[in-house]
Amino acid sequence: MRFYTKDECEEWLRGLGRVKPDTMPEIRRAHTHYPTSPHRIFYLAYWIGSSLMYRNPALVWITEWGIWEGSENWHLYYKLRQSYGDLRLLHEAPGHLFLGHESEDLASFLEIAMLNGWGGYVLTQANYINAFFSHDEYIDFFAAQDGNLAEVCKEFGTVEHPKKPDFPG
């Protein structure tokens, strides 16, 4: 696992010839709200880590934090981060690059981010499905092909949106 600055996150994405998925007007999207119980949030984070990576690297890029000030467990986040040998603050290096065999690590960081009310992206090198998770407790899954979202819709009962959705974000 590696931690990336904002510039390194952008460079990683550019190196794949891609942009953030929510900036692509023709991409397919599926929308779901977070579960209401913490153990279901664990399941959602674990499912994302184990189902979207295809044993390839993935970048969790935190772009929103501090919105629900006072409800964030900074201690837990930084202790987990320090266990990987990184002492920088989140705003200094908001990217978390997970190698293909680190899906459970991705799930742990993603779960903490969701429970802390943070938002950001799960950007997979495989590029079958990517995601944006919001501080407003929802996730948008993105895919270029309709069939790629079928498993997401089956698992979470999401609603597909071919273009920008008409729901409050």
List, for residues 150-163, the tens digit of each pLDDT value: 999 988 886 554 44
Q: Structurally, how many domains does the chain consist of?
A: 1
Is there a domain that residue 97 lies in? yes
With a cut of 50, say whether residue 83 has pLDDT above it.
yes
Q: How is residue 137 written in tokens? A: 């407790």
pLDDT of residue 81: 98
Is there a domain that residue 167 lies in? no
Phi, psi of 116 (to 5 degrees): -80, -5
Is there a domain that residue 169 lies in? no
Query: Per-residue pLDDT tens for 109-124?
Result: 999 999 999 999 999 9
The helix or strand, by DSSP H or E, that contains position 44, with its residue range, turns out to be helix 38-52
Residue numbers of the domain that contains 13: 2-161
pLDDT of residue 69: 81
Query: Per-residue pLDDT tens for 17-75?
Result: 999 999 998 899 999 999 988 889 999 999 999 999 999 999 999 999 999 888 899 99
Whether the pTM exceeds 0.95: the reply is: no
Neighbours of 149 (CB within 10 A): 20
Is there a domain that residue 140 lies in? yes
